[in-house]
Amino acid sequence: MAEELNPFKISQLQLDKAAEKMQLDKTAHAILREPMNTLETTIPVRMDDGSVEVFTGFRVRYNTARGPAKGGVRYHPQENIDTVKALSAWMTWKCSLANLPFGGGKGGIICDTKKMSDSEVERMSRGYIRSVQREIGPETDILAPDVYTNPQIMAWMMDEYSALKGYNSFGVLTGKPVEVWGSEGRFDSTAMGGMYIMREAANKLKINLKGAKVIIQGFGNAGKFAFELAHNIGANVIAISDSKGGIYSEDGLDLAKLEAAKEKTGSVQGYQDKNAEKISNEKLLELKADVLIPAAMENQITGSNADNIIVPLLLELANGPVTPEADEILFEKGVVDLPDFLVNSGGVIVSYFEWVQNLQGYYWDIDEVYSKLDKIVTKSFHDVMKTQTEYAAKGKKITPREAAYIIAVSRVAAAMKVRGWY
Ligand code: NAD
């Protein structure tokens, strides 16, 4: 069953499914099933105690037919080449769906930064850049933060790359601190993009967002900003959770009180209010509301609980929260489930803006960033809806995820075709 396969096999199966529905050319399909380029590197790092530890790093360029590869670098003890390959494929489709002039890439190092000092992390990050320097660059492959990498690490990496080149190369990666020309709006861009999609989808489904009931799973970067932004447009967040469990109040929750509870007790479950009650993460997903936003982990809605989801609109702000089996159940039930690589594309779109600003040396204010982001995600949403309607008119029922895949894959295939790759 697909749910037990490794991530790269899952990404290939998803492509196969889309290829069949869109009757993709066989050669284009064969090219797109594999990354164009994979690199495994060895990074010796001098540790604080004087010993040398040897780390393994990866960089994968999945496809560059539409532009330079773009994707994050993850630091994780369980990092492996199949995960990096899968993530680079998903970046290819995400960039294509948003119609950015990028292909997809991803990288990582097998390491546990929780057991390393900051200076060890810095030396390892600089070592990684030295080992992949010939593969990366503003016109070939552009890096970004991901799991356990952050703006400080991006600043060290950019500095190392610039030192190797002999000039400042800010555009080699995105997600930098603003002091070295990161973009305004980078931190809430994922949630912001998701909220623009929520606005468009609610409009289509005739859900009035003023007073609408919203459930959010996860209280990290994505979940917290989603709470704030949903609240700002008049929605009522009635339940939220973190890894320890959830809290629910039909009257709506208060962000400042949630943050205080999290700070004091280590969990949103410490929230106190007369009508608030603790609930499990499982129960949270099954509450009655207008919008459900998984913003935590993958594989949260599966074959065993999909039938209990009773919201009309599900926005996948997290990566991979809905399994392929659940996808079909939700579709049959009439739940509109908008896929991760549409809903959370705001992050990579603002990364693209950062790269554009770095290349131009001309910087935009936050309003300009948001309005350009709005335009791109809104168009992506309507592209997906249009493709779904067009297929329905031909008698083919497809999910929003399949529609998004078809758009993304056909754009990459078209670029390969005109370039003469097949
Ligand atoms: P984060 O680490 O800041 O927060 C994750 C949150 O999920 C934490 O509150 C954690 O307590 C909670 N959590 C963990 N396990 C849980 C569980 N079983 N049930 C409920 N909550 C649980 O991460 P983030 O940056 O907010 O990312 C969340 C998701 O959004 C991930 O899937 C990530 O890939 C995706 N995403 C984030 C960004 C971004 O810019 N932050 C961009 C694209 C996609």
pLDDT tens readout for residues 227-260: 999 999 999 999 999 999 999 999 999 999 999 9
- CATH 3.40.50.10190 assigned to domain 35-169? The reply is no
| Distance of CA 55 from the midpoint of ligand 1 (Å) | 26
Q: Do domains 35-169 and 189-338 have the same CATH topology?
A: yes
* Ligand 1: centre distance to CA 375 (Å): 25
* pLDDT tier at 5, thresholds 50, 70, 90: low
Using only C-alpha atoms, what is the Rg of the chain? 21
CA–centroid distance, residue 243 to ligand 1 (Å): 10
Beta-carbon contacts of 32 under 8 Å, excluding residues fewer than 6 positions away, are: 15, 19, 24, 63, 409, 412, 413
User: In ligand 1, which atom is closest to the CA atom of 187?
Assistant: 40
State residue 7's pLDDT score. 86
Q: The whole model's pTM is what?
A: 0.95
Separation of CA 344 and ligand 1 centre (Å): 12
CA atoms within 13 A on the CB side of 405: 24
Section 371-384 average pLDDT: 98
**Number of CB atoms found within 10 A of residue 165's CB:** 12
Domain 189-338 has CATH 3.40.50.720: yes
- What is the domain partition of the chain in residue ranges? 35-169, 189-338
Cβ of residue 219 lying under 6 Å from some atom of ligand 1: yes
Please state the atom number of ligand 1 nearest to the C-alpha of residue 222: 26
Average pLDDT of the chain to the nearest whole number = 96
Q: What is the pLDDT of residues 12-57, one digit of tens each?
A: 998 999 999 999 999 999 999 999 999 999 999 999 999 999 999 9
Q: Percentage of residues in the chain with pLDDT exceeding 90? A: 94
Q: Would the CB of 174 count as within 6 Å of ligand 1?
A: no
Identify which of 317, 350, 377 to mutate to test ligand 1's pocket (most ligand atoms within 8 A of the CB). 317
In degrees, rounded to 5, the angle at the alpha carbon of residue 99 between the alpha carbons of residues 96 and 105 is 40
The catalytic residue positions are 106
Take residue 92 and report the two structure tokens written for it: 């290819």
Q: Could you give the CA distance from residue 167 to residue 161 in angstroms, rounded to a whole number?
A: 9
